[in-house]
Amino acid sequence: MYAAHFGLRELPFGITPDTSFFFGSPRSQEALNTLLVAARSGEGFIKITGEVGTGKTLLCRKFMATLGPGFVTAYIPNPYLEPRTLVLALADELELALDRSVDQHQLLKAINYRLLQLAREGKRVVLCLDEAQAIPVESLEALRLLTNLETEKRKLLQIVLFGQPELNRKLQLDSIRQLAQRITFHYHLGPLSRDDLDYYVAHRLRVAGFTGARLFTRAAIRGLYRASGGVPRLVNIMAHKALMLSFGQGRQEVAGSHVTIAARDTIGVRREIWTWLAAGAASAAVAAGLGWVFVR
């Protein structure tokens, strides 16, 4: 691969959420601060929404890693579960050894006892659910009932919902209006601005070991922004492909033409940029000559 060619220790633009690459843009840092303040307040539900690819899962993992020893975190990445299975998943996260045939009363009693035990140790428990827009309505109601577990001073369990904007529409349903009323903190995670994207690319390159001045030209950054709309996942996909193209040519920088070809090869780029891409594209011969770079 191109890592050694560009003086990198590792690939800088993977799409696996890696907290070492977390970029504190104004929006992501504000979202993280909101989560930390809400968690320390100890009450209610917390909701973070954002479009596909805006970094919700990475934010979730950064949040859990930042909480510190006073918190116990439970994480359910795929909450498309019926109510009982969802509660059993929480029990697993709390390290409760229960028979799968345990009845509902004993299940809730065991969870309540574990939460009280942790509270006596001075610990707060935070349950984070990723892809929360997929949670069935009945399971959302089960989550609400879990937050009824409390001492005289505070809730025993806080729940953070990370989801796409469809989650907002689900929470407008009359059948779960009680849950919606318990959301005390919320934040919508938007895309990167043009300037933030430039810093974002430079940040990931530095974390990966790059020590030069500028690897992506200003034209390349403009191309990444116009094609991605500032969505980090699309930026990562196209930046990775553009680096492969530059490496394939033996170049030491990524030019706008590399991003143009990478954008053409990427599903999900903004449709309105195709006129611009056509005007700024590399020649067909160059594109064809580099076709070997991408595995289709």
pLDDT at 153: 77
pLDDT at 277: 53
Find tokens 């005007």 and name the residue.
Answer: 279
Q: How far apart are the first and last CA of the chain?
A: 17
Assign 128 to helix, strand or coil: strand
Amino acid at 45: F
pLDDT at 192: 97
Q: Give the H/E segment covering residue 237.
A: helix 232-248
| DSSP code, position 216 | B
**Phi, psi of 160, rounded to the nearest 5 degrees:** -115, 125
d(CA 208, CA 105): 50
pLDDT at 44: 80
d(CA 115, CA 93): 12
Identify which of 185, 167, 184 has the alpha carbon closest to the alpha carbon of residue 176. Answer: 167
d(CA 171, CA 152): 28
Assign 96 to helix, strand or coil: coil
| Structure token digits, residue 238 | 């196209």
Domains of the chain: residue spans and CATH: 26-189 (3.40.50.300), 193-293 (1.10.8)
Strand 124-129 with 183-189, pairing: unpaired
| Structure token digits, residue 229 | 């709309």
pLDDT at 81: 96
* pLDDT tens for the chain, residues 1 to 296: 899 999 999 999 999 999 999 999 999 999 999 999 999 988 789 999 999 999 999 999 999 999 999 999 999 999 999 999 999 999 999 999 888 789 999 999 999 999 999 999 999 999 999 999 999 999 999 999 998 888 777 889 999 999 999 999 999 999 999 999 999 999 999 999 999 999 999 999 999 999 999 999 999 999 999 999 999 999 999 999 999 999 999 999 999 999 999 999 998 886 555 444 555 544 433 443 444 444 43
Rounded to whole angstroms, what are the CA distances from 144 to 110, 120, 149, 171? 17, 23, 10, 12
Give me the DSSP letters along 164-215.
Answer: -THHHHHHTSGGGHHHHHTEEEEEEE-PPPHHHHHHHHHHHHHHTT--SS-S
Q: Which residues pair with 127 in a beta bridge?
A: 74, 159
pLDDT at 98: 87
pLDDT at 290: 47
pLDDT at 149: 87
Burial class (CB within 10 angstroms; exposed 0-12, middle 13-18, buried 19+) of 151: exposed
pLDDT at 283: 42
Rounded to whole angstroms, what are the CA distances from 201 to 46, 49, 67, 196? 30, 23, 26, 9
Q: Which residues pair with 159 in a beta bridge?
A: 45, 127
pLDDT at 75: 97
pLDDT at 168: 95
